[in-house]
Structure 1
């Protein structure tokens, strides 16, 4: 398995609502086109609450979402990232210059 997370901001000039609509539409593009996609979760970032968000800082306030992708292999991830359908759709709403990519290992605790 190969898992990668992306912390992303919307493109400059785009509203949060526009971003979230395009982000939601991106699900279908990924499911229809990505090779070897085992799981894909979207995590729109919300405002922290006083209870339950103890260690939240404002360091990443400008970010809009975190996506976590798990592929069958690194090759499937690489192949999918270069597909025109996926890259063109992503370019509609993601500010790639500020995106943070995090390669992950998954350790199931419970």
Structure 2
């Protein structure tokens, strides 16, 4: 598996509500069209509250996107595909690229919902 995460804040011209709607309703459907993509998850940042240990309000980021491909070659092919054009065009509209952090990551399941005793 080849997994990459993008941690980012919204474009300064967007309100938080506009960003969340756009991320879910526009960007998600466009990004999921990348060829070879086997998993895509959006993790919008929420307000901190009870149960959020080691968390600080106002972290400066609005979301984390996780893309999973079968291989590095599949990811490279997706980023170079015609389907990535609309993804990049939309990315520029909604993300503050100056603050984006790209994370080459490994998924390491430690506990899954199927393992939780009921």
TM-score by length of 2: 0.82
Cα deviation, residue 85, structure 1 = 1.5
Aligned to 1:56: 55
* Deviant stretches of 4+, over 6 Å: none
Cα deviation, residue 38, structure 1 = 0.9
Any stretches of 5+ residues in structure 2 without a counterpart? 112-118
Instruction: Name the count of aligned residue pairs.
Output: 107
Cα deviation, residue 23, structure 1 = 0.6
Aligned to 1:45: 45
Any stretches of 5+ residues in structure 1 without a counterpart? none
Equivalent residues of 1:41, 1:67 under 8 A apart? yes
TM-score by length of 1: 0.87
Aligned to 1:90: 91
Aligned to 2:65: 67
RMSD: 1.5
When residues 91 and 102 of structure 1 are mapped into structure 2, their CA distance, relative to the original with a 3 A threshold, is same
